[in-house]
Amino acid sequence: MSKTKIFLLTSKLKLLFNTFLLPVFLCIHLQFTPQAQTMERCHTTESYERLKIQYPEYEQNRQQIERQIQEIITQRDVVNGITIIPCVYHVIHDGDAVGAGENLSTALLQAQLDQMNDDFRRTNADAGNTPAAFAGVAADTEIEFCLAQLDPNENTTTGINRINVNTLSGVNTNDCWDDDYIDANIKSPTVWDRNRYLNIWVVFKINRSDNCANTILGYAQFPGGPANSDGIVLRATTVGSLASPNPAGGDYSFGRTGTHEVGHWLNLFHVWGNCSSSCCGVDDSVSDTPNASEPNYTSAPCTYPGPDSCDEGASDLPDMFQNYMDYSDDQCMNLFTQGQATRMNAAIAASRPGLLTAQCGPSCVDNLVLSGTLDGAYEASNTIITSGVTTVPSTNDVTMRAPDFVRLNNGFSTVSFAGLDIRYGTCSSVAPTPPNNRTTEIERFRTAQPVLTNTKKSEFTEEEVQAFRQDQAVLPPSKTEDLEPEELRKLIARDRKDD
């Protein structure tokens, strides 16, 4: 082949590669290289616009909730004290082992929860980075989060619900996972009661609906929407904390996407008011966040002051790009304001009141009295106690066991049985404990009304007896190890009479 023909052939191959093959290669490369795409911090507003078309009552509900929030704030009727919200993670994975891929480790999920607690309680390690101009309004929201210990059926749980995507009907990893798809196919069949839990779905992709670009970091559902999709959705690579960043790395690996989306879930808006552009005249319903014309995408070194997109005259302040409800990189965010804290707590009272009494773990009953004859056996673990007095049946065929599991108001605890009048102490001293645990037995002596088991005192160590003697001051200084329960009860009664 002549040199001329070789040159012409080479030129044609180059033209073919540049025209057809190179674009295909770049397209594939960009699709699987997240860093090459511009990530979208939040999709909550777009999701709301879709939902209010599907559910026309949603917009009306939000208007009613807003009226209630403003009334609560105006009347200064915001709930005082700490609100602790039980959370459940729904971790969507494709079969990876726990800790591999999108099936995130328990430690990383806990790190995310820790970061949310730090951010909402103003104990975040970077709180000192808040500029002096904003430090006066930076707030402890008095909202905390815990992993749920009881599921909706009152069974014990870790608060982490790991779901293999292949078990979800109609879900395919090759599909376009936009918010509508996720709501209908992933959230709906897995959601827990929104009146008792914050549902957090962790997924490996969130696509745009217009072009299916895999660029969205997370989104939330404002209060008042459909129950079967209520909660927040996080891209798996955003789950982490300042102390334990997500292994994927990047600017959004420190857990602030979760903080941001929970803010929306508790009815906060973006600091620029959710309009698309030129938003200086649009309010975010919070007075202590400076007006902003548009989102800020501030990145390290997070230099203050940043943009000042709205001129507010003599009292003008620059944009609060450090606010969790802006779009800055994770490491540039460090505060909620007092106005935002008030609004979130008012939103809980107005739209999520069930969270005010929701329990992270087992609950119990104060001052419970069990009445009845205990001359035989009583299987406490088979009993559900829901009111103040329960009659204990009498049997004569099996030796009594105590303490044992008792189900108390949808929670597990322990109690000892000893006769006609058995009083149960305060809830704060009780924790789920296996049956027949001697330490729990002594704990009943220390924290509750006198509760003695149907057994000789000699079965307890001298140290245990001494603990009982010092805390209750009802036993004589010696010979207690030989006394039967009835004799001990008489001593208790005598001691009380002497007092």
Active site residues: 261
Tokens 């104060």 identify what position?
366
How far is residue 279's CA from residue 264's CA, in Å, rounded to a whole number? 19
Cα–Cα distances in Å, from 186 out to 180, 183, 205, 337, 385? Answer: 10, 6, 12, 34, 37
Characterize 381-404 residue by residue with b for buried, 16 or more Cβ atoms within 10 angstroms of its Cβ, and e for exposed.
Answer: eebebeeeebebeeeeeeebbbbb
Characterize 138-165 residue by residue with b for buried, 16 or more Cβ atoms within 10 angstroms of its Cβ, and e for exposed.
Answer: bbebbbebbbbbbbeeeeebebbbbbeb
Q: Residue 133's closest CA among 288, 16, 20, 238?
A: 288
Q: Which contacts (CB < 8 Å, 24+ apart) does range 245-254 have? A: 246/108, 250/34, 250/35, 251/299, 251/300, 251/329, 251/330, 251/331, 252/39, 252/41, 252/217, 252/329, 252/330, 253/330, 254/115, 254/330, 254/331
Q: Are 62 and 234 in contact (CB under 8 A)?
A: no
**DSSP sequence for 274-337:** T-SS--TT---S-TTS---SS-----TT--SS----S--GGG-----TTBTTS---GGG--B-B
Give the torsion sign (CA, 121, 122, 125, 126): positive
Q: Residue 257's closest CA among 272, 267, 245, 247?
A: 245
Give the torsion sign (CA, 430, 435, 440, 442): positive
Beta bridge partners of 83: 143
Burial bucket for residue 26 (CB in 10 Å: 0-12, 13-18, 19+):
exposed
Reported as type and span, the H/E element at residue 446 is: helix 438-447
Q: Are 228 and 188 in contact (CB under 8 A)?
A: yes
